Structure 1
Amino acid sequence: MDELILFSTEHLISILIYSLIFIFLSFISNLFSKRIYASVLGIVILIIKIIELFIRHTVYSESIYQLLPLHLCNIALIFAIISMIFKFNFLFQLVFYFSIGAFFAIIFPENIPRFYDFRNISFFLTHFFIIFASWYEIINFKFKPNLKGLLLSFVILNFFILLSFKVNNLFGTNFMFTNIKPNLSSPLNYFGPWPYYIIISDCIFLFLEYIYYLPFKLYKSRSL
């Protein structure tokens, strides 16, 4: 597979282009009903993801086990689509905090084809959508991240870490990189061998979640 090179001109231009696409989608949302717009966009992203999975299975012969939605961003994507369609504050909390993972996946993509491959298009659209969905719901649904959501997202994250570890042992996969580090240059390379990089990453993720939540906490305190 002709892969996207990390931090190449193509990678950086892709980030810029998809950022502009979702900024544009934010602006035109004002022309429509916010609820209907969110639902339609969620359905479109769902269709794109289904097409990607179909191509990966039928054209590239990836097994059903390899396509299970057990990477953090796939889990976040499912929650984001449901939350956008049905306006669930509970799922918004998870999407907001899990979107940190989507951000790092965009910065450090693993084994992503180059721009002319549909899998590349789907990767960037779905990962940017996770970030977009959380902020769309903050702005248009008036949802606000809270400490309870932070703690719940951390608990659910670790549930999926344990689940993915079990699934990886059964099927030889590597969801959430719980069995081996990704085969690319990433921050995980600096966190030691297994299982230390998992523990360190878990702690860093909790810290980043709190940093992400902190502006909302400070704003709420000043409003009281």
Structure 2
Amino acid sequence: MGAVLLVRAGRRQRGTRSEVLFARAFALLLGLFAVAMQIYRVLPSQWDIDVSLPLHLSDFTWIVAVYALWTRRQWAYSLTYYWGLTLNPQAMITPALDAPGFPHVDFVDFWTQHILVVWAAIYLTWGLGLRPGWRSLANTASVTVAWGVAVFGFNLLTGANYGFLNAKPANPSLLDVMGPWPWYLAVEFAVGIAAWALITWPWTRSAERSARCATPAK
């Protein structure tokens, strides 16, 4: 229901001053909540180098989602679209969460942040009319590989496991059917690229049809 209401609001406000104000208010809501939770995680009573740093891909996703909502830059939107509509839902289906449940702050943090990012991706796409393309997919794949290399190295140095790049999570997940480490990393990347291609193709097809319709017959 939240996504539907956001799409309706985005379509009504598209091209108006209200669009900018609404999108930036959304960016502030997501950003202030995520920053507050990040401050909470680095407090001395909560500090744990294995979980307290914003190095999961979901952490980078809320950052680019805030920027995309504020500026509507294509590169930020692309990352929000691909990461927010595939990785975030997968994390929500098989949450790696040890919190006892609502209203524990870790529980609220996980679900609120993940849902707001999914809403942001939907709002930008179906509400404001931004669209991905094959270049968007290629750029997102490149950024994802760069993130993976950097975080994998950090994990080796610290013994952490951000992004589950160095070991599978303890909770059941899709990684359990992708083979042992390190092979599941390659399978995960291949499946991710295939999923991104599937959610890119309809937009490129519609763009091609629009271009053909706009071309006058000779």
Aligned partner of 2:152 in structure 1 is 165
Aligned partner of 2:40 in structure 1 is 55
Q: Alpha-carbon deviation of 1:140? A: 4.0
1:111 aligned residue (58, 73, 97): 97
- In the alignment, structure 1 residue 175 sits paired with structure 2 residue 156: no
* TM alignment of 1:43-82, pairs within 5 A: 43-58=28-43, 60-63=45-48, 66-82=51-67
1:138 aligned residue (106, 110, 125): 125
- In the alignment, structure 1 residue 204 sits paired with structure 2 residue 185: no
- In the alignment, structure 1 residue 188 sits paired with structure 2 residue 175: yes
Amino acid corresponding to residue 180 of structure 1 in structure 2 = A
Q: Alpha-carbon deviation of 1:142? A: 2.6
What TM-score, normalized to structure 1? 0.83
What TM-score, normalized to structure 2? 0.85
Greater alpha carbon shift after TM alignment, 120-129 vs 161-170? 120-129
Aligned partner of 1:127 in structure 2 is 114
8 Å CA contact 1:22–1:128 kept in 2: the answer is no
**Residue 67 of structure 1: SS of its match in structure 2?**
coil
Q: Alpha-carbon deviation of 1:141? A: 3.4
Amino acid corresponding to residue 81 of structure 1 in structure 2 = V
Greater alpha carbon shift after TM alignment, 146-155 vs 165-174? 165-174
**Residue 115 of structure 1: SS of its match in structure 2?**
coil
8 Å CA contact 1:188–1:201 kept in 2: the answer is yes
- In the alignment, structure 1 residue 33 sits paired with structure 2 residue 23: no
Q: Taking structure 1 as reference, are residues 24 and 116 closer, same or farther at Cα in structure 2, changes over 3 Å only?
A: farther
Unmatched runs of 5 consecutive residues or more in structure 1: 1-19
Aligned partner of 1:84 in structure 2 is 69
Largest Rg, 1 or 2:
2
1:157-213 deviations in whole A, cap 9, x for unaligned? Answer: 011111110111122211111100011111101111111010100100000000111
What percent identity do the matched residue pairs reach? 21
**Residue 110 of structure 1: SS of its match in structure 2?**
coil
8 Å CA contact 1:168–1:174 kept in 2: the answer is yes
Structure 1 ranges of 4+ moved more than 4 A = 25-32
2:4 aligned residue (23, 28, 31): 23
Aligned partner of 2:216 in structure 1 is none
Amino acid corresponding to residue 62 of structure 2 in structure 1 = L
Greater alpha carbon shift after TM alignment, 47-56 vs 195-204? 47-56
